[in-house]
Structure 1
């Protein structure tokens, strides 16, 4: 874009904003995504000339929140791919949670100090209702990458800035974890900048997946972990020399054995796995094959007892819930236990654990944790969870309108 074209665009957008603030009318040339965002912001009570985002997370509370957030694992990648170059280019890099709260804001010191004047700081809530139209808040509201140029920002103090942002999704569940934003001068709204942001988001999501996979190698010498939550066809045994895929039946056996650390009889296991009268014979044969697959770990008999060096992700989530470490439990809960299994003991445990996780989340009243659960396939149609989100979500959250619309759809479909 030439200097003249940029000046023309700046003037046109500024005139459109002033007209909207004065009369409520939006010119034809205004981008639809901006027009809709302005209208949402006003409906939510934004004062275009005087509103400032609240800074509602500070000091130790902020540090604790960042340390337990899944995106903490991705910050080294963001710094390597984006922050260093952005610092040289005179731009800020921000990472928010799913509710629109800024967790990290990094870049040149002088620019960060300037940004303090508009409350673009760590711990601030950057939503459309609190800050007006802005890239991270609007990207979360729409769940799509976008750019906001100069006076496309509705709040007057922010019209000197431009930004590009994209939502970040959990690579396993698809839940929105937060947003990645690049903020600075007019150059930030150039098309190639959004391409860079989207590429960095893709790298972040890949890093999160890789981080989970490499934990298996980190477990060498520290025992083995069975992952069964959210897995359709069978579990994965991590540790030793990598990852071993387990059959559905062997995964069911290991999960049930993990729930009976003091031991369980073959007959009881057979009841937990099937209502078939001949199941006991089949189970003993499967246990024999499982013992071979687990070597060098042991599986003792009379009663059957699992090697203490092997733990299941079900046990880990249960332990975290008992310790009231709800955020950590949610990070491990990848979905319902073996959702395609019809084994009675697995079905009972699956329903029980899912209920315990969702009830614990509802009790927290934390919008980010609730949204990370609600955005998944196993939370998408859970009306109680979405009502809990609505009740605790800040009125200025970028997700506010979307949550209300989702609840309206659930009311129509579920009666």
Structure 2
């Protein structure tokens, strides 16, 4: 049986850098020639990665960023077609594109659908103008709603991203806003708690006292409001920050990450995880676009390859697997010595944070709320 493979393509350019973002992103303005060169470099990298992986079954392609909806749809079409030639496509290959809801990008949705994108991940983030301004977004609430309507009519599958735990946000206001988002027709919702990442504009604003995030108690209330509102609407929280309206609406690509399957990462700063010669191998591409392009031209866009030890691979499997409701098999973390009878597991079961399941290691709903604590207890 051919091993499943996911493909992540990183397009690092944005029209505007959001103040909360710590991803590997760059302003698009003035980089037209570089973008053209990058599209060619990514294609060359795919060829090189195929030589590494050998034959695999391609189950998903994910264009992330950055803002991949800013790229030329013809480049996306070429990369999708190339990936399908290099690896054997599954019967249903999920092809996701991240997009922002600006009118300029919405006008390109039909071209991306024609290119082979069958699932759009739309970054709404909020549905009121004041919050969108705070978040540094370059669209307003009206554009967000229009984009969702167009996306719903254009793509077979639609996911929307929302950000909560914003300064001054209350559970009642968040419940109303989330219900408005559900009315836009998405089958999948990814609500993310606003986190203040080091080195971002929001980090500097917090340190200067200009931005005050909600406290832990309010953040927990907002999380619980998220779970209750989406569950009442028929959305299962199959992962900590991802909710699907039925099994078919789950993100196949993200399940590649969370279930420990192999994936290729191409584009500046992209990470990959591959099983090569029986060992779990981590790959990291050069981060800066110019450095990545130059490395590809020199023969290899991967900056580092690291063969993970059995313990390192098990720790990664633990951190990803506990994020999903199905958890992971105890056999997957045998290198950590974890069994149903291990004192650490037994203590967490007694505390109601791990389910009493002798076959699989699964966090309870209460455990997912305290997942950092649970994983730190089990991994050390």
Shorter-chain TM-score: what band? under 0.3
TM-score (norm 1): 0.26
TM-score (norm 2): 0.27
Who wins on radius of gyration, i.e. which is larger?
A: 1
Larger proportion of helix: 1
